[in-house]
Amino acid sequence: MTEGLQRRARDENGKPILVSQDMNYQEWYNKYIDKEEGIIDNLFNKNRKVQLTDITNQRVSIINQAFSNNNIKTIALNTNIKSIKLGENKAYHRQGNIVLKHNYDSHTVIHEIGHTVDYNNKWLSSNNNFVKAIQVDKQYILNNKEIYNKLIKNNSNYKELSDIIGGMTNNEIVGNYGHSKKYWKKSNKLERETFAQMFTMAGRDDLKQLELFQKYLPNIFKEFDDLIRRLL
Ligand SMILES: [Zn+2]
């Protein structure tokens, strides 16, 4: 009965696998889930037939259901999403097209629309001030590791906060959610994920997390606010 020591998960082809209990979430994620959005998927899925269902015509109701904040919802509704399809085993955005899992949640919808907003505005996240703000806050984190370790320890379940601080510190400081070190090394990932994660918090009206960002990543918060105002 080794099964008791393992938990159920799925591999990259959606096949159920058992994950050893001493493999933590991050290790499991790195081994089985993390791939560059879209590109490596293609290599792995070459021989796999995926039936994607086009749900682009449900765009408005999907957005209305997912978003809580009206300003961000309006931005989403005004965004040209080329297509929304269902049926992959992970969610991703590629050049204005969104692919979701069958059992997608509002969190993922907002996140992928965040990437679409970023892309449609000539990668808004590459804005000089935004990129600079990430570097300034990053330096502050590296100079105050103890404070940030404590912050993440106390809030390890906050997906966006954990992911972004993980990305900024090359996973030296990370909670229960994040991407692999390899992923973060790719160019533009940090600013694009930071934008999408902040867009997600704002779209969900997640005031608790937004307050944490405002307090602990103040420069990023300010520049994100600036970028969003341009879209309103
Ligand atoms: Zn993303």
pLDDT tens for 16-30 read 555 555 556 666 655
Q: How many A from CA of 193 to the centre of ligand 1?
A: 5
DSSP code, position 35: -
The size of the chain, in residues, is 232
Quote the CA–CA distance of 109 and 96 in Å, as a whole number. 13
Residues in a beta bridge with 88: none
List the chain domain ranges.
3-33, 125-231
| The token pair that represents 182 in the structure block | 């390899």
Least confident of 41-50, 59-68, 69-78: 41-50
DSSP code, position 84: E
Quote the CA–CA distance of 160 and 85 in Å, as a whole number. 24
Percent of the chain whose pLDDT exceeds 70:
79
Average pLDDT, the chain: 86
Q: How many A from CA of 104 to the centre of ligand 1?
A: 14
Q: How many A from CA of 3 to the centre of ligand 1?
A: 32
pLDDT tens for 85-98 read 999 888 999 999 99
* Nearest-5° Cα angle at 206, 200 to 208: 130
One-letter amino acid for residue 149 of the chain = N
pLDDT at 157: 87
Per the CB < 8 A criterion, the answer to whether 41 and 35 are in contact is: yes
Confidence label for 3 from pLDDT (cuts 50, 70 and 90) = very low
pLDDT at 31: 56
DSSP code, position 3: G
